[in-house]
Structure 1
Amino acid sequence: MVVREQLRKWIVAGCVGVSCIAGCKPTERFRAWKDNSNVSYFQDYVTRIEYPDVAAPLDPQLVDAPLPLAIENPSDLPTYDLTLQDAIQQALQTSEVLRNLGGSVVNAPQAQSTQLDPALSDVNPLGGVEAALAAFDAQVSSQLYWQKNDRPNNNTFIQFVPSAFRQTSGTYVNELSKRTATGASYALRTNVIYDRNNNPTRFFPSDFTGFIEAEWRQPLMRGAGTTYNRIAGPNGQIGQYNGVLIARINTDISIADFETGVVRLINDVEGAYWELYFAYRALDAIADGRESSLKTWQRVNELRRVGRKGGEPDAEGQARSNFYIFTSQLNDGLSGPNGLYAAEQRLRYIMGLPPSDGRLIKPSDEPLQAEVAFDWQSAMSDALTQRVEVRRQEWTVKRRELELIAARLNRRPRLDALTQYRWRGLGDHLIDERDPNNEFNSFSQSLLEGNYQEWQAGLEWQYNIGLRQASAAVRHAQLNLAREMALLKEQQLRISHDLSNASRQISRSYLQMQTNYNRIEADNQAVEALRQRYEGGLTDIVFLLQAQQRLATSTSDFYRSLVDYNLALRDFHREKGSLLSYNQVNLSEDALDGSAVRAAYDRGRYFTPRDNPEEVVVGGRVSNGAFDPSTVGTPSLSTPVVEAVPTPIGEE
């Protein structure tokens, strides 16, 4: 009691001393609501708009791009000639994102194809080839636990039985496991347990016990065989197919999507190139018509000054109106939505260039004017079998076929054969020399001597009565396969119609090209004749002005049909599946780097070479080998080849 009183006095004295040091100070009340004028303890917003912190530097070519061309005279601007092959090469070199003229990359960037898509599919950690192969990799696992137990015993006093159980123990477990392509699994385990407790009946106060165990499990029905495991994977569940074959087909589908993006890119590049060519030619035709109408207007003014016939005010007004009509058309042909500058900017975009750089692109290639003939049956065969969209759908059909095989194999019950073999050991010490007088002196020696061995063998059976889920998976796979087959047939039907329409457009545009060329000849003749008659006062100026308009229109229509003819050839190759070959574009994978080659060589040294590799039996094939889309059939020129400039109808 005296000690407690002294301790209480010391505590009171300490509290008084601390209070004297701190002094007397009133406590400020903490307020967490808005009327606190000193400090704000809350935010006035929850979901405000913020700007992301991303290291994405801007392209200096885009930031420093000059003002786009609008009403400048093209003849005053520096130009550089560009061939179609150079345009395609430039577009491919700058197309990390496979562009299209639709502009969907801004509103839907996730749907845009890129050069990285095949690689992303191949290395997908959830469904890629390497992820599927990882299920067969060797697995190493270790567990180390240390614990202290102190439990009272519910018993009366008995000799040699303590009132509480006190224990210090540790457990160390190692396992090395491996799955095989047949579905079997192998495992090698070691288990070491340290135990020290107060049980008085123990021979050693502390000991080490444990075992080495080998296990083999082989599925005999469901989950057995390389076919199932390559399709569904060793851990596949009903309706889930994550095997290496499915992963590889997904990569092939991604490669087909990439090829589709390249074909679309080349299609847009060629279309933009020839549309720019037409914009130049249409602008030239309008400029020639404007120059001709200006001369006519000037001639009418001269006739009016001298008082000759043809210089009447109505004639002058009509000539002036015709001049301004051509001027308006010239402005639209230069800066309109389909004008020269807009067409040049579309080509710049598809090539990956800034919208303007102070220069004007000028196509240097001339469109093909010779008549081209195709082998119709060969073209139809190529379109129905080798077009990339068909090949992609065939890969999808193949995937559904494999899924149906795995679904049918899942209808079998689960029957596994299991064997285990185990060596046990006991020792006072973990590692020590062998004591001939005490076989349990060393745990390691006791374990390795193999005096205590165990084994287990048996079968494990599991069967879902009724197979409701497995049967539904089979039916689901059958319906998926039927759907993809129907889509493949529908694709082939649509492709045949599109190819027929493309062939028809070739014939139409070539005939239109000849017809419009004859129109130019006729309109030139009419303009010259009407000009002479107008100069002689034999005709009204209206007929001359109409002839000038017709000449400009026929000239523009000729180049329109010429470009349409080349675009029809492009469309035919696209529908036939030979657009890459037509534009001399080859798709191939880069060579493996040195580290990959060395790794393959080092791994191959551990395998025995086959004496007769041609006699090796390979299971059902998934693909028919490599395919080069740039080797699809090319067109042949008809014989005889018509002249570069189509001759008038009736004079051939």
Structure 2
Amino acid sequence: MRNHKPAAAVFLLLFFLGTVSCLAAEKQEQEKPAVPGKEEFIKTAKQKKTLTLSVYDCILLALKNNSEIKIASVNPKIKADDVRIARAEFEPTLNLDYMLTDTTEQAASTLLGAGVSASRELNLDLNVSGKLITGTEYSLDFLNSRDSSNSSFQTINPSYTTEPKVTITQPLLRGFGIAVNKADISIAANDEKVSEQNLKSIAMDIITKTKTAYYDYFYYREAYKIADDFVQMALDLLKINKLRYEKGLVSSVDLLETETAVLTRRRSLILAETELKKAEDELKYVTNIVDDPRMWNAVVALTDEPLFDDQEVDLVDSLVAAFKNRPDYEAKQIELKNKDIRIKVTKNALFPTVDLIGSFGLNGLGTDYSDSLSNVSSDYKDWSVGVSLSLPWGGAERADYNKSILEKAQGLMELKRLEQSIILDVRDKVRGVDLAIQQVEASQLAKESQWKNYEAQRERYAAGQISTHDMLDYQDKYARADLDYLKSLIDYNIALVDLDRSEGLTLMNNNVKLEGAK
């Protein structure tokens, strides 16, 4: 018997290959930025800074630093990995098996030619196996063995055998078909699309909230200016009345009434400033400026003003846009596609398993490995063909199929309900814009009318034709008309923001492209 010691070398080779294959290319987790401590906020509390922002600036800040967006933006990446995992089912697998078997035992028969039977078998098998999209399973084997024994009856000792072999298993009923075998890939791909739509929906909500906060802050800023002007009107009137009182043209009651009006309006100015600071803090909150120790206490200055362009809206056009662009509607339709796929899979599972199995191989035998390779030919072959049948009871499969049918029916009802909700929501938002337009036009006319009336009454007051009480009342009417016009203008712009959200056009109309969303 020749001395043959391949075991150690092969073992070391396999150990090395196994170690390398287990080392994944792990990405180093990026070091998270440190959260600012309270000391940094305290240090900047007395700094006087002004932060100038446009609507678009606020949107970018809100999207960039929002935790919901950060969390939701990971989901499409996770779902993309799920697609790759599902596709991996059809990737080939390389297998390498090495087995050394050494047997020493007492001979059970004198025919073995020795009192002690000793044999050694070395097997080295290389296999590539996988699955095709049709459900066909294949196995490409390259089988190698070395046998040695102390038996005198073994004519070739040691003997080497080599066999290349192909095995095909083709499902005929259960597990057959591209649609069934691609089901996991299709579902994973659809789940990825749903996650993208969910990301869009969250972003649209954030943009809507941000623009609303921006316009609210603008309103309270202008309301503060109106309240300040209102105080100045009373001060101007008080100055005039003091001069008139010295000349005996007005009574002390007029003077007292004017002084009271100044104090009352100053109190309203303080309340307006309080509301202004609240609105500023809300804008800082939705844009996450409060998390920045450099800017958390800065005064926010706005560059964009709400406009009124009498934009006409059409209910039919808005409904068409909503059903085309709303991410929640798109996500629901994609979910229904997954339910259709599941119905196909569960229906296929009702069939019995009938697999056609075939294999073909060539054999080679020799006194050494190269000799066995050279002897591989069509003269020495083995093949097999057969059918495998498996017929389960089918209770679980039938229940699973019925369940998928019910889930599809449930999904259709949810879709119809969502459609009704969208129709009502769009109609409400279209009405809101129409009413806001009417409010702006009416309040603008009222403001102009009150201003003209106030100017005329000032001349009458200068001529002594009306009382101080009347003059204060006219000032109050004009201030309310001015504030009403401002409120209607803000409501109109917020109504347009809400309509964009209802139509699913928030991202498009604000020129926002989300990373991770197609």
Q: Which residue of 1 aligns with 2:6?
A: none
CA distance in 2, matches of 1:78, 1:508: 36
2:373 aligned with 1:444: yes
State the match for 1:55 in structure 2: 31
Number of matched pairs: 489
Alignment deviations for residues 588-615 of structure 1 (CA, whole Å, 9 cap, x no partner) = 989xxxxxxxxxxxxxxxxxxxxxxxxx
TM-aligned CA deviation for residue 407 of structure 1:
1.4
> Deviation of residue 371 (structure 1)?
1.7
Does the alignment pair 1:167 with 2:119?
yes
**Deviation of residue 59 (structure 1)?**
7.2
- 2:152 corresponding residue in structure 1: 200
1:489 and 2:430 correspond: no
Three-state SS of the structure 2 residue aligned to 1:371 is coil
- Per-residue CA deviations over 1:139-163 (Å, capped at 9, x if unaligned) read 211011223333345x5x8475544
Contact kept in structure 1, 2:339 and 2:407, CA below 8 Å? yes
Relative to 1, partners in 2 of residues 1:458 and 1:200: Cα closer, same or farther, differing over 3 Å?
same
> Aligned partner of 1:375: which letter?
D
Does 2:366 align with 1:427? yes
Partner of 1:270: 211
Give yes or no for contact 2:196–2:516 (8 Å, CA) kept in 1.
no
* Residue 235 of structure 2: aligned partner: 294
Q: Is residue 2:77 matched to residue 1:119?
A: yes
Report percent identity of matched pairs. Answer: 18
1:423-462 CA distance string (max 9 Å, x none): 223332222xxxxxxxxxx32233x134432111111111
What letter corresponds to residue 132 of structure 1 in structure 2?
A
What does residue range 355-434 of structure 1 map to in structure 2 within 5 Å? Answer: 356=295, 360-431=299-370
- CA shift, 1:529, in A, is 6.1
Say if 2:90 is the partner of 1:136: yes
Offset of 1:262 from its aligned partner? Answer: 3.2
* SS of 1:373 mapped into structure 2: coil
C-alpha contact 1:345 1:355 (8 A) present in aligned 2:
no
Paired letter, 1:508? L
- Residue 178 of structure 1: aligned partner: 130
Residue 484 of structure 1 deviates from its aligned partner by: 1.3
Backbone CA RMSD of aligned residues: 3.6
- In 2, Cα distance between the equivalents of 1:159 and 1:134? 53
Give the 5 Å matches for 1:144-163.
144-152=98-106, 158=110, 160=112, 162-163=114-115
d(CA) in 1 for partners of 2:216, 2:43 = 23
Q: Equivalent residue for 1:455? A: 383
Q: Do residues 325 (structure 1) and 233 (structure 2) align?
A: no
What residue identity is the alignment partner of 1:459? Answer: V
Q: Which amino acid aligns with 1:84?
A: V
* 2:175 counterpart residue number: 223
Give, in angstroms, the shift of residue 475 of structure 1.
Answer: 0.9
Instruction: Report the alpha carbon displacement of residue 168 of structure 1 after superposing the two structures with TM.
Output: 2.8
**Partners of 2:422 and 2:145 in 1: CA distance:** 71
Deviation per CA, 1:573-600, whole angstroms, max 9, x where unpaired? Answer: 221223334334456989xxxxxxxxxx
1:29-48 to 2 correspondences below 5 Å: none
Partners of 2:134 and 2:124 in 1: how far apart? 31
Partner secondary structure for residue 200 of structure 1: coil
1:477 to 404, 413, 422: 404
Query: For the Cα contact (< 8 Å) 1:303–1:311, is it kept in 2?
Result: no
Compute the displacement of 1:191 (Å). 1.7
**For each residue in 1:19-43, what CA deviation from the matched residue of structure 2 results, as whole angstroms up to 9, or x when unmatched?**
xxxxxxxxxxxxxxxxxxxxxxxxx
Tell me which amino acid in the other structure corresponds to 1:481: K
- How much has 1:188 moved relative to structure 2? 1.5
Counterpart Cα distance in 2 of 1:569 and 1:420: 69
| SS of match in other structure, 2:163 | strand
Q: What runs of 5+ residues in structure 1 fail to find an aligned partner?
A: 1-52, 100-104, 232-241, 432-441, 591-627, 629-652
Query: Whole-Å Cα distance in 2 between the matches of residues 463 and 565 of structure 1?
Result: 68
Residue 501 of structure 2 corresponds to residue 560 of structure 1: no
SS in 1 for 2:308: coil
Q: Which structure ranks higher in relative contact order (CA pairs < 8 Å, sequence separation ≥ 6)?
A: 2
Alignment CA distance shift 1:330-1:264 (3 Å): closer
Q: Which has the higher helix share?
A: 2
The structure-2 alpha-carbon separation of the partners of 1:78 and 1:55, relative to structure 1 and needing over 3 Å to count, comes to closer
TM-score normalised by L of structure 1: 0.67
* Closer, same or farther: CA 552–383 of 1 in aligned 2, 3 Å: same
Q: Following TM superposition, by how much is the alpha carbon of 1:78 offset from its aligned partner in structure 2, in angstroms? A: 4.8
The answer as to whether partners of 1:302 and 1:311 remain within 8 angstroms in 2 is: no
Q: Which runs of 5+ in 2 are unaligned?
A: 1-28
**Could you report, residue by residue, the CA deviation over 1:589-645 in whole angstroms, capped at 9, with x for unpaired residues?**
89xxxxxxxxxxxxxxxxxxxxxxxxxxxxxxxxxxxxx9xxxxxxxxxxxxxxxxx
8 Å CA contact 1:66, 1:356 repeated in 2: no
- Any conservation in 1 of the 2:76–2:516 contact (CA below 8 Å)? no
Change in 2 beyond 3 A, CA 1:112/1:54: closer
What is the match of residue 595 of structure 1? none
Structure 2 length-normalised TM: 0.82
The answer to whether the 8 A contact 2:36-2:293 is kept is: no
Q: Secondary structure at the match of 2:152?
A: coil
Q: Name the SS of the counterpart of 2:288 in structure 1.
A: helix
Q: Report the equivalent of 1:40.
A: none
CA 1:300–1:329 in 2, change beyond 3 Å: closer, same or farther? farther
Instruction: Verify the 8 A CA contact 1:269 1:350 in the aligned structure 2.
Output: no
Contact kept? 2:217, 2:276, Cα under 8 Å: no
Secondary structure (helix, strand or coil) at the match of 1:372 reads: coil
Aligned 8 A contact 1:282 1:333 in 2: no
Q: Distance in 1 between matches of 2:514 and 2:142?
A: 53
Task: Determine the structure 2 residue equivalent to 1:572.
Answer: 499
Report the AA paired with residue 413 of structure 2. Answer: A
Change in CA separation of 1:487 and 1:585 when aligned onto 2, cut-off 3 Å: same
CA distance in 1, matches of 2:290, 2:75: 20
Counterpart-to-counterpart distance in 2, 1:469 and 1:205: 55
Map residues 582-601 of structure 1 onto 2, 5 A cutoff.
582-585=509-512
What do residues 328-365 of structure 1 show as CA deviations (whole Å, max 9, x unaligned)?
Answer: 22431442x23xx3255246438997772786443333
Deviation at 1:264, TM superposition (A): 2.5
CA shift for structure 1 position 219: 0.8
Q: Quick one: structure 1 residues 358 and 384, their matched pair in 2 at CA, closer, same or farther if it must change by over 3 Å?
A: closer
Q: 1:397 to 1:513 in 2, by over 3 A?
A: same
> What's the counterpart of residue 3 of structure 1?
none
Q: Does 1:516 align with 2:443?
A: yes
